[in-house]
Amino acid sequence: MRILFISPNRLRLVVPPLPIGLASVVAAVKDEHKVRVLDFMFAEAPLEEVRRAVAEFAPEIIAVSIRNIDNQDSRNPESFIGDARELVDLLKKLSAAPIVVGGAGFSIMPGEFMEYLGADFGIAGEGEGAFREFLAAFVGSRDWQAVSGLVWREGEEWRLNPVQRVADLKSLPLPALENFTPELYEEAVGSAKLPGMIPVQTRRGCPMKCIYCTTPLLEGRRFRSWEPAQIAARLAAWHERWGLTRFYFVDNLFNCPPDYAKRLCRAIIDLKLPLKWGALINPSAPDRELFRLMRDSGGGFMQVGNESGSELVLTKLGKGFGRRQVELTFQFLEEEGVAYSCFLLLGGPGETPETVQESVALLEQYHPQLVNLTVGVRIYPGLALHRIALEEGVVAPGENLLLPRFYLAPAIEGWIWEYLEGVMARHPNWIF
């Protein structure tokens, strides 16, 4: 069967993200089906490429991956769902092939997306196994109830099947990077003016309970992982094939559990290759030995998910760590010579001018290369922050959250912007 895959994402926050999730789904089916991939990231006229691809390839299935719903910027919100609908509308005009929508952004609100986009099917959750199940049902029984995470219409209603996550990640094939010109992603520069990096996933799942984060919804709370030797072999293979040297581990908690992270670092050291990599560090487990191994294995740029420097706000956000752990993380990274950036997520429940100033004062004691400032917390349905927003009347019951809505603590709403302008004047490396 001929399958046209489309990645419409063009957002380049921090660095342009190669669509590793879609590359994994392509890898799961490309040996049994004929595939073609359109990646909009570097396309000059993406919709013209769509027209040409449909005419030349005559797809029998069209799969669209939605990564980003909006830019998560409360000051200048930009929604991408209109672009997604424009793409689906165009595909309907060009082809009679059924349109299947998936991806991380779609999986957060699959029912709302299906109503809005008018696609034929959707797949929520991890797509490697689910898309194979869908293809088998499509050419066979048409028993849609057997397809994990499938969103499908029955009569006048959309049905959502239970999501089944991939139990054994080690059995999955390598993501099909050959369909996405990885060299371009390593060369491209994003909003943070940093060199591009190739995403690598070593684990799925997150046991943390942050009130605003969708990762447990998408990946579950239980860790599942590849073997460190598998990941090291993947890096070596990509280095040999394309000369890639810069990677970013997209795991939500690279340093948890620490024993796994240490084994991974040692496996990378054993490669003896000139690799540089970054990852997201959770301050819940500051570990000097791990940070040293990260440095020695090429870990040259870490992102610390601290979000705040206020004990009160960290508790309200459900971060699972306190101010002291944040300080130790910064201290150990600096003492081990590991460059890092960090985040301030301002405006959540309990935030006041005093807690904002407390957070800024904490970061000013250390030396992050970059501080990403976010004001207002994006509200997603079903999460703890959504329940708080409902109780406080920030959003209404039944309100469609496809369009961006933000929680912004009233105590800082009229004050925060001018204050941060002054902060950024003092620190050119602090950015919105």
* CATH number (domain holding residue 38): 3.40.50.280
- In this structure, are 150 and 215 located in the same domain? no
81 assigned to some structural domain: yes
Residue 10 pLDDT: 92
Whether residues 11 and 156 share a domain: the answer is yes
Strands (E), 222-281: 224-225, 246-249, 276-281
Q: Are 240 and 294 in the same domain?
A: yes
pLDDT band at 44 (very low <50, low <70, confident <90, very high): very high
Distance of CA 71 to the CA centre of its chain: 12
pLDDT-wise least confident of 48-52, 185-189, 383-387:
185-189
Residues 151 and 202 in one domain: no
Angle of CA points 252, 257, 258, to nearest 5°: 110
- Give the confidence band of 188 by pLDDT, cuts at 50, 70, 90: confident
What CATH code is carried by the domain that includes residue 206? Answer: 3.20.20.70
The pLDDT value given to residue 60: 98
Give the residue carrying structure tokens 């300080």: 327
Enumerate residues 6+ apart whose C-beta is below 8 A from 290.
255, 258, 261, 262, 265
Burial class (CB in 10 A: 0-12, 13-18, 19+), 222: exposed
In a domain, 155, yes or no: yes
**Segment holding 265, helix H or strand E:** helix 258-271
Contact 408, 74 (CB under 8 A): yes
pLDDT of residue 192: 65
Residues of the domain holding 256: 197-431
Residues 141 and 283 in one domain: no
Q: Is residue 146 part of a domain?
A: yes
How far is the C-alpha of 372 from the C-alpha of 345, rounded, in Å?
8
Question: Into how many domains does the chain fold?
Answer: 2
Q: Is residue 181 part of a domain?
A: no
Residue 226 lies in a domain: yes
Give the 3-state secondary structure of residue 346.
strand
pLDDT of residue 195: 79
Q: pLDDT (tens digit, 9 = 90+) per residue, 52-89?
A: 999 999 999 999 999 999 999 999 999 999 999 999 99
Asked whether residue 154 falls in the same domain as residue 303, the answer is no
Residue 8 near residue 46 (C-beta atoms within 8 A)? yes
Beta-strand (E) ranges in 45-129? 61-65, 99-102, 121-123
Decide which of 111, 137, 160 is a domain's last residue.
Answer: 160
Return the structure tokens found at 175.
């993501």
- Which alpha helices (DSSP H) does 120-213 contain, by range? 127-139, 182-187
Predicted confidence (pLDDT) per residue in 333-387, tens digit: 999 999 999 999 999 999 999 999 999 999 999 999 999 999 999 999 999 999 9
Are 413 and 276 within one domain?
Answer: yes
* pLDDT tens string 299-313: 988 999 999 999 999
Q: Does residue 292 lie within any of the structural domains?
A: yes
In this predicted structure, the answer to whether residue 189 has a pLDDT above a threshold of 90 is no
Residue 109 belongs to some domain of the structure: yes
Q: Among 112, 144, 160, which residue terminates a domain?
A: 160
Helix axes 81-94, 46-57, angle to 10 degrees: 30
Question: How far is the C-alpha of 216 from the C-alpha of 155, rounded, in Å?
Answer: 31
Report if residue 167 sits inside a domain: no
Q: In the predicted model, what is the mean pLDDT of residues 10-22?
A: 89
> Is 269 in the same domain as 378?
yes
Rounded to 10 degrees, what is the CA torsion of 292, 250, 282, 191?
A: 100
Q: How confident is the model at residue 191 (pLDDT cuts 50, 70, 90)?
A: low
Going by their DSSP bridges, the two strands 430-431 and 370-375 should be labelled as parallel
The answer to whether 163 and 125 are in contact (CB under 8 A) is: yes
What's the whole-number mean pLDDT along residues 22-46? 97
Do 145 and 208 sit in the same domain of this protein? no
Distances from the Cα of 205 to the Cαs of 222, 246, 287, in angstroms? 5, 24, 21
From 113, 137, 160, the end of a domain falls on: 160
Same domain, yes or no, for 133 and 36?
A: yes
Mean pLDDT of 418-424: 97
Residue of 116, 109, 144 lying closest to 130 (CA atoms): 144
Per-residue pLDDT averaged across 104-112, rounded? 97
* Same-domain pairing of 71 and 201: no
Length of the chain: 432
User: What percent of the chain shows pLDDT beyond 90?
Assistant: 93
Residues linked to residue 371 through DSSP beta bridges, in sequence order: 342, 430
User: In this structure, are residues 307 and 323 in contact, taking their beta carbons and an 8 Å threshold?
Assistant: no
Are 243 and 377 found together in one domain? Answer: yes
